[in-house]
Amino acid sequence: MDTFTGFPAAAFEFYAALEENNNREWWLAHKAQYDADVLAPLDSLRRGLEPRFGPGRIFRPNRDMRFAAAGGPYKTAQGMFLSHYEDVGYYLHLDADGLSVGGGYRSSAPAQLGRFRAAVDAPSSGAALVEIARQLEADGYALSPPDLKSAPRGFPKDHPRAELLRHKTLSASMALGRPGWLNDRRAEKQLSEHWEHLRPLVEWVIRHAAP
């Protein structure tokens, strides 16, 4: 597929069926549907959005069964990530319920966490992040939940930005469901606009706590 024309209803029906038939035999029998209704439109969307949001990658549909405590061998959702930086960028999630979008960073690197905390602690950059988070929440995006119960060691418990310091990673997301524009070419513009809303958060991380 060369031009993105939206996600067909069959893409979401595929994942609804997969939830009930998560096994290799069913997957192989329906792989052509996955390729045509999920992978092809997502790949076309990726190529259309890369000039604005960075190189993209579409995640593999297979689960790593070495770390899967339960469930079948296939993911019941398809994800895509666009970024110029490792672990910092823009995310799209497709499953039986529809689409979700997100942006921010997820990393386990101690040095990056140290830079993030230092930037949250600093008055200027910290205040900027507070305003970014406030605006995103006002616009209907949900911040990822904090990882710690209180401010980390080395910071006062009553720090003015203790809530942000409790995060080891930080992202914002919104569940879009299945809006009317989803199955036509308007979807690319709508998704671009959501990611532009998330750009201030992504760029704050790149500026202050890049990998």
Query: Distance between CA atoms of 36 and 7, rounded to whole angstroms?
Result: 10
| CATH number of the CATH domain containing 13 | 3.30.930.20
Q: How confident is the model at residue 97 (pLDDT cuts 50, 70, 90)?
A: very high
Query: Distance between CA atoms of 172 and 187, rounded to whole angstroms?
Result: 20
In a domain, 175, yes or no: yes
* Contact (Cβ atoms closer than 8 angstroms) between residue 97 and residue 117: no
Query: For 150-170, what is the mean pLDDT?
Result: 96
Looking at the structure of the chain, the number of domains it has is: 1
Is-above-0.85 flag for pTM? yes
* Contact (Cβ atoms closer than 8 angstroms) between residue 205 and residue 104: yes
In a domain, 188, yes or no: yes
Query: Distance between CA atoms of 196 and 52, rounded to whole angstroms?
Result: 9
Query: Distance between CA atoms of 24 and 35, rounded to whole angstroms?
Result: 16
Specify burial of residue 66 (Cβ count, 10 A radius: 0-12, 13-18, 19+): exposed
Q: Domain limits at 139?
A: 9-209
pLDDT tens-digit map of 17-37? 999 999 999 999 999 999 999
Query: For 124-131, what is the mean pLDDT?
Result: 98
In a domain, 169, yes or no: yes
Residue 69 has pLDDT above 90, yes or no: no
Query: For 116-125, what is the mean pLDDT?
Result: 97
Residue 1 has pLDDT above 70, yes or no: no
* Contact (Cβ atoms closer than 8 angstroms) between residue 193 and residue 181: no
In a domain, 3, yes or no: no
Query: For 101-128, what is the mean pLDDT?
Result: 94
In a domain, 1, yes or no: no
